[in-house]
């Protein structure tokens, strides 16, 4: 895609720099970054115009391209960093709204996961049931362990949707950085759950230490959004999914 509209060299240069910055920060599919929706957002930011509508359009485009909301918001942040300004809350909300309400086609789980990008409890329990039944495996030994990561600062009112979205994004990213795909994960409103195994000795504890350190750093920068320190509990599991369901339901936000 040619991101350089005729007669606007500054806009073309900004789009090229934006892409390079995003790719350098870990964009998963560099060839898929260029989308028509990036140009109106870059134009709005470059010229100090209202950016909510183009941000929402870009959020929708990223969702339809199977780009996660965390990756998409990081990309928007890269644009604003290049322009030496902070992302306005209204732009974050607009992008998230476009992403959240997009028709994501054949994968209903992607839409259901919401801003954390982590599975909901129904998906988590389905994978856990396969592990209990021996159909799926974490490829490790030892006993099953449930890790609960509670990042809630306190009650978040219905009007504070931006706070919840930011919290969900931060918690989801921290969990994905610490625990790889062999761990089933679940999420609901500020509380993440991870199903792991106690062996090899030290592996799970190292991952828990990693998520704790990541969230401690994020909480220092976002004291009104994340609990500091985050509350992390490890507990052994009984041998059936019904008991697991009762445990995570008891840990659900009120």
Domain boundaries, the chain: 9-108, 114-250
In whole angstroms, give the CA distance from residue 171 to residue 58.
Answer: 23
Q: Identify the top-confidence range among 8-12, 54-58, 202-206.
A: 54-58
Q: Are 207 and 196 in contact (CB under 8 A)?
A: yes
Among 1-5, 82-86, 100-104, 243-247, the least confident range: 1-5
Q: Are 192 and 116 in contact (CB under 8 A)?
A: yes
Count the Cβ atoms, other than its own, within 10 Å of residue 37.
19
The percent of residues in the chain predicted with pLDDT above 70, rounded, is 83
Contacts of 194 (CB under 8 A, 6+ apart): 146, 147, 149, 175, 179, 183, 184, 185, 186
In whole angstroms, give the CA distance from residue 203 to residue 185.
Answer: 16
Termini Cα distance of the chain = 48
Dihedral of CA atoms 161, 166, 170, 173 in degrees, nearest 10, equals 80
**Predicted pLDDT at 146:** 92
Residue predicted with more confidence, 198 or 226: 226
Whether the per-residue pLDDT at 201 is higher than 80: the answer is no
Residue predicted with more confidence, 187 or 136: 187
**Predicted pLDDT at 46:** 92
pLDDT tens, 142-172?
Answer: 778 899 999 988 765 544 666 787 788 889 8
**Predicted pLDDT at 161:** 66
Whether the per-residue pLDDT at 178 is higher than 80: the answer is yes
The alpha carbon of 65 is separated from its chain's Cα centroid by a whole number of angstroms, namely 16
Its pTM stands at 0.61
Pick the CATH number of 114-250 from 3.30.70.270, 3.40.50.300, 3.40.47.10, 3.30.420.40: 3.30.70.270
pLDDT tens, 11-60?
Answer: 888 998 999 999 998 888 887 898 888 989 999 999 999 999 999 999 99
The residues facing 233 across adjacent strands are 148
Number of H helices, E strands in the chain: 10, 4
In whole angstroms, give the CA distance from residue 154 to residue 195.
Answer: 25
């Amino acid at each position: 895609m040619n991101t350089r509209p005729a007669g606007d060299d500054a806009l073309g240069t900004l789009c090229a720099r934006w892409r390079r910055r995003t790719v350098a920060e870990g964009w998963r599919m560099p060839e898929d970054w260029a989308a028509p929706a990036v140009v109106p957002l870059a134009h709005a930011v470059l010229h100090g115009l209202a950016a909510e509508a183009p941000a929402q359009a870009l959020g929708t485009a990223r969702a339809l391209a199977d780009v996660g909301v965390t990756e998409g918001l990081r990309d928007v942040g890269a644009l604003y960093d290049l322009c030496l300004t902070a992302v306005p809350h209204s732009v974050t909300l607009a992008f998230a709204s476009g992403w959240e309400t997009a028709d994501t086609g054949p994968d209903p789980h992607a839409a259901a996961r919401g801003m954390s990008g982590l599975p909901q409890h129904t998906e988590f329990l389905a994978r856990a049931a396969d592990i209990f039944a021996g159909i799926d495996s974490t490829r490790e030994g030892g006993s099953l362990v449930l890790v609960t990561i509670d990042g809630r600062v306190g009650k978040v009112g219905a009007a504070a949707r931006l706070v919840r979205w930011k919290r969900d994004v931060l918690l989801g990213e921290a969990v994905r950085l610490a625990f790889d795909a062999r761990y089933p994960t679940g999420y609901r409103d500020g509380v993440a759950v991870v199903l792991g195994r106690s062996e090899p000795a030290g592996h799970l504890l190292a991952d828990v230490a990693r998520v704790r350190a990541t969230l401690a750093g994020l909480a220092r920068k976002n004291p009104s959004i994340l609990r500091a320190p985050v509350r992390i509990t490890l507990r052994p599991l009984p041998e059936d999914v019904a008991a697991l369901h009762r445990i995570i339901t008891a840990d659900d936000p009120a």
